[in-house]
Structure 1
Amino acid sequence: MSDLTVDFSLLNTSAKQLKAIQKEFKELNEWKDDIQSVVGARELKDAMADFIENWDDNRKRLLDDLENVGKMVEGTRNAFKGLDDELAKTGKKK
C-alpha cells in the first residue's frame, strides 16, 4: 500500500494567497476614473476607454477564475482533512 502525503500548510497558504490576489484585482477598479481624468486628447481618452473596458471584461473573468480555483483548493483541503480525521478515528478504535 502506498502512502499519500497532503501538505495542508501549502493548501492553506494557497487559499490565502488566492484570496489576496482576488482582493487586489477587485480593488483595481478605482484607478479607471483617475486615469481618464488626466488624459487630455480625445483620441487618447477614447483609446484609454477601450482599454479600460477590455480590462474590465478580462478582470471579471480572472476574478471568477480565482474564486473558482480558491474554492477547489479549499474543497480539496477540507476533503483531505475530513478523511484524515476519519482515518485517525478508525485507527484509534483498533
Structure 2
Amino acid sequence: MSDLVVDFDLLSTSSKQLKAIQTEFRNLGEWKDDIKSVVGAAELKDAMTDFIDNWDDNRKRLLESLETVGKMVEGTRDAFAKVDDELAKAGKKKSK
C-alpha cells in the first residue's frame, strides 16, 4: 500500500499567491491613460491604444483562468482536509 502525501501548506500558499496575482492583474488597468497621455505621435498613440485594448482582453481571460485555478486549488485542499479528518476519525474508532 502506498501513502498519499498532501502538502496543505503548499496548497494554502498557492491559493494566496494566486489571489495576489489576480490583484496585480486587476490593478494593471490603471496605467492605460498614463501611457496614452505621454505618447505624442498619432500613429504611435493608435498602435498603443490597439495594444492596450488587446492587453485588456487577454488580461480578462487571464484573470478568469487565475480565478478558476484558485478555486481548484482551494477545492483540492478542502477535499483532502475533509478526507484526512474522516480517516483520522475512522482510525480513532477502530483503535478503541
Q: TM-score by structure 1 length?
A: 0.98
Over the matched positions of the two proteins, sequence identity in percent amounts to 79
Residue 30 of structure 1 corresponds to 30
Equivalences for 1:1-94 in 2 at 5 Å?
1-94=1-94
Alignment length, in residue pairs?
94
Tell me how far apart the structure 2 counterparts of residues 63 and 76 of structure 1 sit (CA, whole Å): 20
Structure 2: gaps (5+ residues):
none
Amino acid in the other structure paired with 2:83 = L
CA RMSD of the aligned region, Å? 0.5
Deviation of 1:56 (Å):
0.3
Tell me how far apart the structure 2 counterparts of residues 2 and 51 of structure 1 sit (CA, whole Å): 51
Q: TM-score by structure 2 length?
A: 0.96
Amino acid in the other structure paired with 1:89 = K
